[in-house]
Every structure is written in C-alpha cells, then in structure tokens.
A and B are shown apart, each in its own frame.
Chain A
Amino acid sequence: MSFVEYGDTIKDGDTAIVFLGHESMFPVKVQHGTVTQTKYGVIRHSTDLIGKKYGSKVTCSKGGWVFILHPTPELWTMNLPHRTQILYSTDISIITMMLELKPGSIVCESGTGSGSLSHALIRTVAPTGHLYTVEFHQQRAEKAREEFREHGVEHLVTVTNQDVCKNGFGVSNIADAVFLDIPSPWEAIGHAKSALRAEGGRICSFSPCIEQVQRTCLAMEEYGFTEINTLEILLRVYNVRTISLQIPDLGKAAEDNSSTGFDSSNPSHQGSPCANLQQGTVQFKSGVPLREVVGHTGYLTFATKS
C-alpha cells in the first residue's frame, strides 16, 4: 500500500483506516504483534489484519465488527492528528482543479501545517511530479517528513524548514503551481513568482479574512499576475431520511360521514400521493440538511503568471 498506489492486501507497516460506523474511524499503523483497542473489542494485527484484503470486515474480541480500509488522502484528511487547522477535501478539490495539477506537476506549498493538503497534492502529482513544501515550525516540519516516510511517499516530496516570506521555496523557475496558506501571503508573492516557471504557472492563496485577500490581490497585480479570481466553496451534506408527516384533522363536512378530513371518495383529493389513510400519515424520502454546517473556511484566490 501507499498513498499513491493501491494495494490489495494489508501488510506489516501499512497505515490502514479502521472504520467503525457512521463517520467513526481512525488510522492505525499495522505491526506484527500489536493490538488495537476499539469499543467493539481488540484487533490483533498479526491474525486479524496482516494478509487480509482491504475492505474486509474484521470481528473484534467483543463481537462487534469493523471494516479495514485502504488509506487515501481524503480518509487521511478526516483522520490525521491535527497540529494546525487543516484544509478539508472540499477546498482541496477546487484547489487541485484550478491549479491544473496532474501527474508530473511540480508544486510548491507553504505552510505544510498538518500535511492534509500535502498528501492530496502528492497523490495528484505522482509518480513523476514533486511537492516542495515549506514549513517555518521546526517540529511540524519534522513530523511531516516522518509521516511522508511512513506513508511511502518521501520520494515525491521535499520538506524545507524555513520562512517562505524571507527565503522562498528553495527552487526557482520550475513550479507549475504555488499554494499559499500563511498569515501574510502578500509577503510571499514575489517568492512565488520566482519559483514558478516562466509562463503560465498558477498560484493560489487561501486566507480566512477578506482584508488578507485584498492585500494579496493587490500584490498579485503588482507582480504582474493575471486572471486574478477570488471564490469560496462550501459543502452541503444531506442526510437521507424517511419522513412521516401527520395528516391534520380538518373535521367533517356537514353531511359527510367519513372519519377523516382527507376523504378519498372526494374527487378533489384523488391525486394525493402516498396517503396512508389508516394511519393518517404521509411518508416520503427526503435529503435533510444538517443542523449545523460549516459556513466559512477561507477565500481562495487564484491567478496566472504571465
């Protein structure tokens, strides 16, 4: 297994995802002799995991079961240990497409943070591309390197521990795309421009505050970037539910002897769908929005190097 190549069976050293049920999962490092505790009991790596097919159901010691999934950057994003606020797949998706990333692309990123976007970028540019990621926090840079190693992608990424605003990305004139998620992106636009290839490279800056966006757009313009465009994207999830609504009792018409107000013999009610007159309810399927949703992550500003 690796984050950039599918494998069929679970092997020693793999990172696998244990899926317990609706929205409940966690990553696990597969190792001979180790056990993992879950609320359904114990999973013994040597007997329950190693050699089994990804996607298999594993029964735990208490009798409950879980599924073992092959890791993907998307599953990793939902389960990785947070060292910083991370980007989620909704933003990652539009970033990937708008930066025109594909196998062979050279990408620069700062800051590395918790590596959520990094894993997705590496997956997209593999096997012939490369990610140059810059992180000014020493421990975070080191943790990122460690994770890339464990996930079998270290050959596709270079982590540099420095301040991108002062020292840039460490490469020049070769990047197809640059991504910035830092407090003062306008200070890094110049460095971004020099990292990008001569013509047609793409840049993206992610900022939570509109003031940051304004300063960044100005800087992009000053440095000669074109096609400057700012957008935001939000995810709306729907829960699929079967809903039952009661039919109200509207009483009886004067000479009418029927027991409910919803009279099927009355021609004007003939078209009523799914009416269950015995129970006085109507059932239907609905996609119900969640009660609380993410209302804002950040503004994404894209531009092209001319």
Chain B
Amino acid sequence: EGGPSARIREGDCAVLKRDEVFKAVSVLRRRKIIFEKQWFYLDNAIGHIYGTTFEVTSGGNLQPKQEVEETTTETKEAGTDNRNIVDDGKSQKLTHDDIKALKDKGIKGQEIVQQLIENSTTFRDKTEFAQDKYIKKKKKKYEAVVTIVKPSTRILSTMYYAREPGKINHLRYDTLAQMLTLGNIHAGNKMIVMETCAGLVLGAVMERMGGYGSIIQMYPGGGPVRAATSCFGFPKPFFDNLHEFPLSKVQSLLSGTFTTETLPADPEENALVEEESNGLTEEKQTSLQETEEEPAAEAAMEINPTEEQDTMDINAEDVEFKENKEKENKENVREKQIKQWERRKKLLEAAALLREKNADGLIVASKFHPTPLLLSLLEFVAPSRPFVVYCQYKEPLLECYTKLRERGGVINLKLSETWLRNYQVLPDRSHPKLTMSGGGGYLLSGITVVLDKGKSDCSNSEALKMEEPSSKRCRLQDLPC
C-alpha cells in the first residue's frame, strides 16, 4: 500500500494527471503510454514519489520537472481593452513549420511559449488578464508535463465521471461522497454492496473500511466486475474479508431453499457444470468431500465427453500417448475440481454471513431497478443501520420510496440529489466556472428499524389510530411520511 509519500513501483496502478484530465495506467517498463497527445514510457518514473510532475523529453522519456521561476509578467506592456484588436488569424508570425522545427530541436515548452509571445503582434495590446489567459493556454498546449498521482476514491471517481460515466451509471463523485457518509461506512462494518459501477463503489467502500470488517458484494450474472477496484492498489489482506454472492441465489436464500448445486455459469467451469446437470451430481459431491487421489480417478471417467471421444479414437495405436493424455486430463480436472470446491466453500461462507441478517449497512448503485434489490437485500441488514440507494433517475426511487413505506421497517427516508459547482478564483476574476454537470444522479437513504411483521410504521392508519394519539395520524390526503 505504501504509507505517506509512497513511491511509484512497477506493477502499480497509477493515475496520470494533467490539469483536470486523468487516466489510469499500469506502471510497466517499456510500455508505450499515450496521454493528452503525448507518447512516453513510464520507466523513469519508477522510484519517484507519487505526486511528482514530469516533463516528457523528445525521446519519450520522463524526467522530473525542474522548479523554474515563472516567466514573470513583470510590468510589461499591456492594453486596456480589446476594442482595436482584430482577430484575423494573422497575429502570430511563427508558422506551424517554425513551431515544429523548434519542437524537433528539443526546445522546451516554456521556451516555445516565450517565442510565441515574442512573435505575436497583438500580445502587448492585450489586457493583463488576456495576456495571462494567453500564456496559460499556450503552456497547456506546449508544455509536455504529466503528474503521476496515487489512486484514491477522489481521483478515480473524478476520472470515471469525466472519462467513462456510462460505466458508472453517471454517478457523479459528490454523489458517491454522500453515499459513503450517509451510509456511515467505516472500519469494522459488515457491509452489503450491490453495484454495477465497474467496482468503483466497491473500491470506495473498501478504502473507507481500511481493510477492517467485511464486505459481501452481491452480483448479477456470472461474477462481479472489479475493474476499477484493482486501480485502488489495495494490499492483499484487504481482500481476505471481501465476499461475493450471486443475486440469482438471493430468493432461495431468503426462502431457506438455498443450495450450492447449481452455481452461476462461470466460463471456465462450463464443462463441469454441464456434466453436473447430466446427472453426475451425486458422484461429484462425494468426490469433493475427499481430497485424495481417489476422486481424481473417478473424475477421470467424467472427463469432458469430447476429450474422451478423442482419446478413444486414437485408440490402441498409441497407448502411451493415451495414458499421458489421461494423466494430463486428470490433473486439469483435479485443478478444476479444487477450484470448484473453493468456489462452493466461499459461496457457503457468504451465504452464512448473509443468513445472520446483521449487516451494518447496505449500498446499492446499479443499472437495475432499485426496488426489488432494496426489498430483498434489506432483509439481511440489522435494525438501526443506514442504507443508501443510488439511481441515475428519480422516478424509480419514487416507486422505491412508496414500496418501502408499504413494507415498513424503515424510517427517515430521504430522496435527494446534490448540486455541485466549481469556481475560478483569481484576483478580480473570481466567478463560477462556465460549465457544470447537469445531474449527478439521485439518492434514497434511510435507517432500518425492527420490522413489525403485523403492521408497517406509518401507512397503516388503523394501527396508528389504535396506538397513538391523534397528532401522529398520517393524513390520507397528503401521504408524506
């Protein structure tokens, strides 16, 4: 993990940064990286502290940027306004070829910018602010710098929102920040996480838990996607208490009919799974209980039917070849068996954790309609614990709210979104930035309470009338609650 001031190591997942643009990359030697129209190798960065800013040399190598005194706009010439400045595209005397020649000579970006300023006929007529803006713009274009930063929720959530919002259901980073706090995510929790945000939300939860406590990730389909999670660079022990459980088994778990007989299809395991459904289940089960060579022999007979076909075709012609192939197959099958057995074991562990129905919180952020997820997954959460559901759209959460009211066992329901605005702060030029995100998604949050199976907490007006003084009766007309 690396404590404060960690150093860049080979194999790390690092994030390249230039101004407001981020990109996650693997730190590998001799691997060409393209970033912000620059091509370079990361080799020279290895060993430096995260946060270091590098310059890209003409050879495509990185070298730490020297701290240079800014080309100070001393009391240089400047105009008062732009009334006489005509934008005819002819004010820059250097041509594309001239600039290219400078670049090829290996002239540093800073020097190129200086050249551009000197060769601009209108520069000294611009106002100081316009000059400032001009220099910033040219620097951005010609100074080939890149900073290598350590991944964190802040960095990755900003990156994903800017680069691949579709992968995270347009979950804006401030909305994610709200989820982590509203959900009281902290070390020691037993969390249930259901997300289809490439593993970003899972990573954020893991970061706030610091390796303490446990997480059960619910997943659709064959397995959880954790592409973003690996970017965080968590140390291995963080994953010891990370479990996963398939959504497709939730109903059976809730109704008490859960079994590990049919696991969700795993591409590698497909062959074995097919055999199971061919009625070989019983034999498989007994063989899994033993860990000796015995079952391998049994399993050898359950080899993938097509492989068996092959070996039989080759037949007596090459008995030795057949024997070697069988041995190889036995090993492969045994390996697959062990993997299968491990998967089963993990699944049973996750199921056992869920069955305790004492999770400290629930986080949902997925492309699915939130209502069925909430209604089922809340069953696994202890009373007096927070839950937070994210949805890109408001309407499904309206329905979810209503269904939760009907179900009961939840209080303090709140439907919200956050409004975020960035500012430019400069002397005499402070104002909100020109572009803003139109929407960062919506959250529905609440707290669980002991579920009264007979009556819900608010919507059952009969129960209310019996139990409480009239001041608390919900008015039927205006059903807020």
Contacts and interface: CB of A to CB of B under 8 A. Distances in A.
Interface of A: 4-6, 8, 19, 21-23, 39-40, 53-57, 59, 62-65, 67-70, 72-74, 89-90, 92-94, 96-98, 100, 102-104, 120, 123-124, 126-128, 176, 197-201, 210, 213-214, 217-218, 228-242, 285-287, 299, 301, 304, 306
Given A65-B467, A213-B425, 11 more contacts: A21-B472, A53-B450, A55-B385, A55-B447, A64-B468, A68-B384, A74-B386, A93-B182, A214-B425, A234-B419, A237-B416
A6 B188 contact: yes
Nearest to A6: B360
Interface string B158-178: 000000000000000110111
A22 B480 contact: yes
B383 A53 contact: yes
A41 to B, nearest CB: 9
B110 interface: no
Given A97-B180, A124-B186, A213-B430, A197 B5 contact: yes
B478 A74 contact: no
Contacts of A238: 394, 415-417
Contacts, number: 207
Contacts of B448: 55
B178 to A, nearest CB: 5
Contacts of A74: 181-182, 184, 386
Interface in B380-427: 382-386, 394-395, 397-399, 401-402, 411-425, 427
Given A22-B481, A236-B416, A285 B468 contact: no
- In order of increasing CB-CB distance, the 8 nearest A-B pairs are A55-B383, A103-B210, A55-B384, A93-B181, A97-B177, A54-B384, A230-B423, A103-B187
Contact of A198 (B5, B182, B411): B5
Interface stretch (B86-94, B111-119, B147-155): B147-155
A19 B401 contact: no
A292 to B, nearest CB: 15
A125 to B, nearest CB: 9
Main secondary structure of the interface of B (DSSP, over half): mixed
B415 A237 contact: yes
A9 to B, nearest CB: 11
Contact of A287 (B212, B412, B415): B415
Contacts of B481: 22
30 contacts: A6-B382, A21-B472, A40-B472, A53-B384, A55-B449, A59-B467, A63-B468, A65-B468, A68-B384, A90-B178, A93-B174, A94-B174, A94-B178, A97-B174, A98-B154, A127-B188, A176-B4, A198-B5, A199-B49, A199-B50, A199-B51, A213-B423, A231-B422, A233-B418, A233-B420, A233-B421, A241-B478, A242-B479, A287-B415, A304-B51
A199 B382 contact: no
B325 to A, nearest CB: 52
A301 B178 contact: no
Contacts of A90: 178, 418
B189 interface: yes
B305 interface: no
B182 A200 contact: no
A63 B416 contact: no
A89 B5 contact: no
Contact of A197 (B4, B395, B421): B4
B414 to A, nearest CB: 6
Given A200-B49, A240-B398, A299 B186 contact: no
Contacts of B417: 236, 238
A40 B469 contact: yes
A104 B207 CA distance: 11
A275 B212 CA distance: 54
Contacts of A299: 423
Contact of B184 (A62, A72, A103, A242): A72
B2 to A, nearest CB: 11
B418 A124 contact: no
B187 A126 contact: yes
Contacts of B243: none
B209 A55 contact: no
Given A98-B154, A217-B425, A199 B209 contact: no
Nearest to B468: A64
B452 interface: yes
A302 B407 CA distance: 43
A6 B385 contact: yes
Contacts of A92: 181
Given A100-B152, A199-B5, A70 B51 contact: no
Given A6-B189, A6-B385, A200-B49, A89 B182 contact: yes
B430 A69 contact: no
Contact of B5 (A127, A200, A210): A200
Contacts of A89: 178, 181-182
B103 interface: no
Which among B5, B154, B424, B469 has the greatest number of chain A C-beta atoms within 10 A?
A: B154
A53 B382 CA distance: 10
Given A19-B411, A176-B4, A198-B5, A240 B480 contact: yes
A124 B207 CA distance: 10
B397 to A, nearest CB: 8
B414 A286 contact: no
A192 B181 CA distance: 25
B226 interface: no
Contacts of B382: 6, 8, 55
A128 B212 CA distance: 11
B460 to A, nearest CB: 13
Given A40-B469, A213-B425, A233-B418, A103 B186 contact: yes
B184 A123 contact: yes
B182 A234 contact: no
Nearest to B152: A100
